Amino acid sequence: MPNLCNLDDRIVPECDARIPVLDRGFLFGDSIYEVVRTVGNVPFAWPEHWARLQTSAAAIRLQLDLDEATIARRIAATLAAANHGDSYVRLVVTRGAGEAPNIDLAYATGAPCWLVMVRPLSPMSGKPARLAVVDRLRVDRKALDPATKSGNYLNNVLGLAEAKAQGATDCVMLNHDGHVTEASTSNLFARLDGTWCTPPLDAGILAGITRSLLLDFLPRCGERVVERHLSHADLERAEEMFLSSTLRDLGPITHLDGRALHGGGIGPRAEALLARFQEHSQERLRDHYGPRWQALVGNAR
């Protein structure tokens, strides 16, 4: 069975989906997106992803022309047709096809294009990472705020390629002030003097949904956590580190700049926290996200 997607309310095999050459997402990265994972057919943290999509739309002056219930129904229909069980869902909204390949918004006369891609979820929860701090800087907040989840990921593509060329599996990018921002598609936590530290939003990072859940969850596990600026030297002396993202949950860091941390294995705290976070996520899904999703999809019918 080929992978399915939903392009502007039509469910088609990915290989048959066609985006017009004048689509501004294709031409200029003039688009926004979210990646959501599901447990069965229920998206985890959907309200947070929907809220962030709206924030991203506002940041790029994109008027969303579908409401939450309509897109939820499209996602539900695509998940049902694909029938993968636990799934990866990528929701992309482009500014649509313009009249000409001209960046001016005056040419953006088409309706937004809505794409839902659904694939079987490859297990990445807790996947360890080897990090390298790369020369390439994270794009400045005043240029294109990393808090906006736009289709402009070339900064991250090149940061990741630089890290991989050094034998790492992911990069850490600094900002113009020399502060740590994040990895290519994950936020970063480092344990310093017994406290988990993660860069604040004004370092120029994506407001990761997993990061935000962890800021709330870690103190409930008896862990101290603060948002504070970090330097490369802070990472070098960190007791443990992990990445956070929708797909990874907590991804323990085993190496920094080619140097093995705690013998090149997974740090004991990150390992224990991962197990507790997975358990907590299942409870949240059962008690909170599941019922909300059912109500939303039910109302949309």
Burial of 220 (0-12, 13-18, 19+ CB in 10 A): exposed
Question: Least separation, in Å, of the C-beta of 59 and ligand PLP?
Answer: 14
Proportion of the chain in helix, strand, coil states, percent, rounded to 5: 35, 25, 35
Residue 208 found at the interface with ligand PLP (CB under 6 A): yes
Residue 245 found at the interface with ligand PLP (CB under 6 A): yes
Residue 210 found at the interface with ligand PLP (CB under 6 A): yes
β-bridge pairing 195-198 and 187-192: antiparallel
> Between 228 and 262, whose beta carbon lies closer to ligand PLP?
228
CB 95 within 8 A of CB 62: yes
* Number of residues lying near ligand PLP (CB under 6 A): 14
Query: Residue 290 has which token pair?
Result: 């599941």
Residue 9 neighbours by CB distance under 10 Å: 13
> Between 209 and 235, whose beta carbon lies closer to ligand PLP?
209
Residue 35 found at the interface with ligand PLP (CB under 6 A): yes
Question: Least separation, in Å, of the C-beta of 275 and ligand PLP?
Answer: 18
Question: Least separation, in Å, of the C-beta of 20 and ligand PLP?
Answer: 26
- Per CB under 6 A, the segment of 17-25, 117-125, 158-166, 182-190 that binds ligand PLP is 182-190
CB 148 within 8 A of CB 61: no
Residue 184-203 contact track with ligand PLP, rule CB under 6 A, x = bound: -xxx----------------
Question: Least separation, in Å, of the C-beta of 36 and ligand PLP?
Answer: 9
DSSP output for 41-64: TEETTHHHHHHHHHHHHHHTT---
**Which residue ranges make up the site for ligand PLP (CB under 6 A)?**
35, 156, 182, 185-187, 206, 208-211, 244-246
